[in-house]
């Protein structure tokens, strides 16, 4: 049996990641590693951080020849998982994807164990980066209904609009998404009136390599992201729903969000000067719609190649809902259709 450390020379690695001391750390939702092998059995030795709460377990998805075949919950701190087996000696393409989002259940692949060598697969010509929150992560998309609460077992980015859009456009993708996150605050309930910045906000999340995984990986604090490692033609931003929980109907807070959103998009544009920016918003809330449109027009006037896609409010009675009133699979597909249509008009 071969014991193989995953590298960019022997496998395709997509999404933000860190390779350190032979281990591949997948940092965000939908980050994955993919390779071709003729092995009859493939195991992956994977480490994770167990919180003690099953709702927070790390989860990975396994794809064989492009087809999603199973989910594996990472239920031990260090374990070898059977990824693939077959009695046929034929080449297959295997993808191991992180399904749990960045703040839950880390995914560290120490090595692949198999009986044949592995080789990398091809990268696609088109590349799209998505910056978002729970909607982008696929929060609760596999839950039975809106009365269910969050668990990583029902979170799945492959059913979220970002991944679906990338697949429709035959594009490689890079997700930077964190549930409950925003520009000014994390989500706050109705009986709370103060901003919640107890966790890093999106400005920091975007600029840092892996702010949620620094301690687990052993990175220096606030290690900056290398923005040359992935060069997208399109950047899609879906942020504002959680800020809405704070802004509500207060004009001063709406102005505060407008200023913060302008700074955030300006920062993204500075890192992605050759990318077209697409801002999309509206499926779960509407209070900051005017601010987002205003900022897009401000930046457009400054010469930024930026566009806006207004998403219709989810229709729960018709299309169902996921956990905690999040978009269902049907709603996510509708979002993907709208964003895909806009991007097609731009490329």
135-167, pLDDT tens digit by residue? 999 999 999 999 999 999 999 999 999 999 999
- Judge whether 101 and 163 are in contact, CB under 8 Å: no
Same domain, 285 and 136: yes
Confidence of residue 3 (pLDDT cuts 50, 70, 90): very high
Q: Do 54 and 135 sit in the same domain of this protein?
A: no
317 with 168, same domain?
Answer: yes
Using the predicted structure, report yes or no on whether residue 133 has a pLDDT greater than 90. yes
**What is the pLDDT, as a whole number, of residue 53?**
76
Domain extent for 176:
126-346
Same domain (yes/no): 106, 226: no
Looking at the structure, do residues 69 and 19 belong to the same domain, yes or no? yes
- Mean of the per-residue pLDDT values for the chain? 97
**C-alpha pair distances (Å), 25 with each of 94, 121, 212, 340:** 17, 19, 12, 30
Same domain for 115 and 136, yes or no, is: no
- The mean pLDDT of 309-329, rounded to a whole number, is 97
What pLDDT band is residue 52 in, cutting at 50, 70 and 90?
Answer: confident
Tokens of 168: 């429709």
**Using one digit for the tens of pLDDT, what is the confidence trace for 187-204?**
999 999 999 999 999 999
Q: Which residue has the tokens 């044949």?
A: 116
Q: Are residues 115 and 189 in the same domain?
A: no
pLDDT tens column, 275-288: 999 999 999 999 99
**CATH code of the domain in which 319 resides:** 3.40.50.1110
Which of residues 89 and 120 earns the better pLDDT score? 120
Q: How many domains does the chain have?
A: 2
Same domain, 93 and 134: no
Mean pLDDT to the nearest integer, 98-102: 97
What average pLDDT does the segment 302-312 reach?
A: 98
Lookup: tokens for 219: 């990175």
- Among 62, 89, 120, which residue terminates a domain? 120
pLDDT for 160 equals 98
Three-state DSSP class for residue 105: coil
Give the pLDDT mean for 59-69: 98
Say yes or no: 153 and 110 in one domain: no
Per-residue pLDDT reduced to its tens digit, 223-248 = 999 999 999 999 999 999 999 999 99
Read off the pLDDT band of 125 (50, 70, 90).
very high
Helix%, strand%, coil% for the chain, nearest 5: 30, 30, 45
Question: Which of 82, 99, 120 marks a domain boundary?
Answer: 120
pLDDT tens, residue by residue, 161-196: 999 999 999 999 999 999 999 999 999 999 999 999
pLDDT at 208: 97
Rounded to an integer, the average pLDDT of 315-329 is 97
Q: What pLDDT, on the 0 to 100 scale, is given for residue 88?
A: 87
Say if residue 56 is in the same domain as residue 157.
no
Q: What is the DSSP string of 271-336?
A: H-TTSEEEEEE-SS--TTHHHHHHHHHHHHHTT--EEEEEPPPP-HHHH-B-GGG-B-HHHHHHHH
For residue 89, the model assigns a pLDDT of 81
Decide: 131 and 269 in contact? Cβ < 8 Å. Answer: no
What is the rounded distance in angstroms from the CA atom of residue 113 to the CA atom of residue 189?
46
| pLDDT bracket for residue 328 (50, 70, 90) | very high
- Cα 173 from Cα 175, distance rounded (Å): 7
Taking the C-alpha atoms of residue 39 and residue 299, their distance in angstroms, rounded to an integer, is 52
State the CATH number of the domain containing residue 37.
2.60.120.260
| CA 99/CA 330 separation, integer angstroms | 19
Q: Which long-range contacts (CB under 8 A, 24 or more apart) does 330-334 make?
A: 331/283, 332/135, 332/138, 332/141, 332/159, 332/160, 332/161, 332/164, 333/161, 333/164
What pLDDT was estimated at residue 182?
98
The per-type count for the chain, helices as H runs and strands as E runs, is: 9, 17
Residue 50's pLDDT band, with cuts at 50, 70 and 90, is: confident
Looking at the fold, whether 141 and 106 belong to one and the same domain comes out as no
Q: pTM for the whole thing?
A: 0.97
Q: Which of these three, 99, 120, 141, is where a domain ends?
A: 120
> pLDDT > 90: what percent of the chain?
96
Confidence band, pLDDT 50/70/90 cuts, at residue 51: confident
């Amino acid at each position: 049996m071969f014991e193989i450390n995953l590298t960019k020379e022997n496998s395709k690695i997509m999404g933000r990641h860190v390779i350190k001391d032979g281990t591949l750390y997948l940092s965000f939702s939908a980050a994955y590693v993919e390779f071709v092998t003729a092995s009859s059995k493939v195991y992956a030795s994977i480490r994770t951080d167990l919180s003690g709460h099953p709702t927070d377990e790390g989860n990975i998805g396994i794809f064989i020849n492009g087809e999603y075949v199973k989910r594996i919950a990472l239920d031990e701190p260090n374990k070898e998982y059977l990824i693939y087996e077959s009695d046929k000696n034929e080449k297959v393409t295997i993808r191991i994807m992180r399904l749990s989002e960045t703040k839950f259940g880390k995914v560290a692949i120490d090595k692949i164990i198999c009986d044949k060598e592995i080789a990398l697969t091809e990268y696609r010509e088109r590349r799209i980066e998505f910056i978002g929150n729970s909607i982008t992560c696929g929060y609760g998309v596999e839950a039975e209904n809106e009365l269910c609460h969050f668990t990583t077992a029902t979170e799945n980015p492959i059913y979220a609009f970002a991944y679906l859009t990338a697949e429709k456009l035959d594009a490689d993708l890079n997700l930077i998404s964190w549930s409950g996150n925003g520009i000014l605050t994390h989500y706050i309930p109705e009986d709370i009136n103060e901003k919640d910045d107890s966790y890093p906000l999106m400005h920091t999340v975007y600029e840092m390599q892996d702010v949620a995984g620094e301690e687990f990986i052993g990175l220096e604090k606030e290690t900056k992201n290398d923005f040359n490692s992935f060069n997208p033609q399109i950047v899609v931003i879906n942020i504002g729903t959680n800020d809405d929980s704070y802004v509500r109907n207060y004009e001063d807070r709406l102005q505060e969000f407008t200023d913060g959103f302008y700074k955030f998009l300006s920062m993204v544009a500075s890192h992605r000067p050759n990318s077209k920016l697409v801002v999309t918003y509206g499926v779960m809330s509407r209070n900051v719609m005017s601010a987002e449109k205003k900022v897009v027009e401000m930046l457009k006037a400054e010469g930024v190649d930026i566009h806006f896609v207004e998403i219709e409010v989810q229709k729960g009675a018709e299309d169902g809902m996921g956990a905690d009133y999040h978009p269902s699979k049907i709603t996510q597909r509708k979002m993907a259709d709208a964003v895909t249509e806009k991007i097609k008009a731009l490329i």
